[in-house]
Amino acid sequence: MSAIDELATELSRLPGIGRKTALRLTYHLLRQPPEQSRKLADALGGLADRVHRCSVCSNLTENDPCDICGDQRRDRAVVCVVEEASDIGAIERAGEFRGVYHVLNGRLSPLDGIGPEDLNVGRLVERVAPGTVREVIIATNPSLEGEATALYVQRQLAAHVPMISRIARGIPVGGDLEYADGVTIAQALSARREM
């Protein structure tokens, strides 16, 4: 396969990038100075080597524990539970939340064969078991799967945590936390209700 076809094939494996877009990007890179492709290649190469899961919260990070778990100014008594590590970035950009996180690495989805045992919930129960956590905010997406996941997590934690809350449906139902704007996320956080 030619170098052009090879790159176009690899690019077209990315979500939302079809064959024509992949070719357009490839020819764009060929028109740029070679440094641009090299810097992109380096950034990609570094990704898998440098980024790992935080052993505390399962966030994607280059340090262990991650910058948030390691930050002494964050309130460890408030844990925000999210589906994916990318949701943490979305909440952090809202700039409202000063607690710590826990990443489930997915949501309950029987159709996709994803059950409770596939979620990172056991580690969450361990984290709250000592009784030092005052509140758990469940920030799974307000979708069918996200709600089922929230309910499941709430039941697992109920015995250990005095207050379990759910972010408000300021985020449109069926939407995706990753794409929500900061104001909406901030409102959803401040309007949270006890479960």
Would you count residue 25 as binding its own copies (CB under 8 A)?
Answer: yes
Would you count residue 195 as binding its own copies (CB under 8 A)?
Answer: no
Neighbouring residues of 67: CB distance < 8 A, sequence distance ≥ 6: 61
Reduced to 3 states (helix: H, G, I; strand: E, B; else coil), residue 109 is strand
Would you count residue 3 as binding its own copies (CB under 8 A)?
Answer: yes
For residues 27 and 38, is the Cβ–Cβ distance under 8 A?
no
Reduced to 3 states (helix: H, G, I; strand: E, B; else coil), residue 128 is helix
| CA 32 remoteness from chain centre | 33
Q: Which residues within the stretch 49-68 sit at the binding site for its own copies (CB under 8 A)?
A: 50-51, 60, 62
Would you count residue 144 as binding its own copies (CB under 8 A)?
Answer: no
- Closest to its own copies by CB, 47 vs 191, is 47
Residues contacting its own copies: total by CB under 8 A: 46
For residues 142 and 82, is the Cβ–Cβ distance under 8 A?
no
Residues making contact with its own copies (CB under 8 A): 2-4, 6-7, 9-11, 13-16, 20-21, 23-30, 34, 36-48, 50-51, 60, 62, 84-86, 89, 178-179
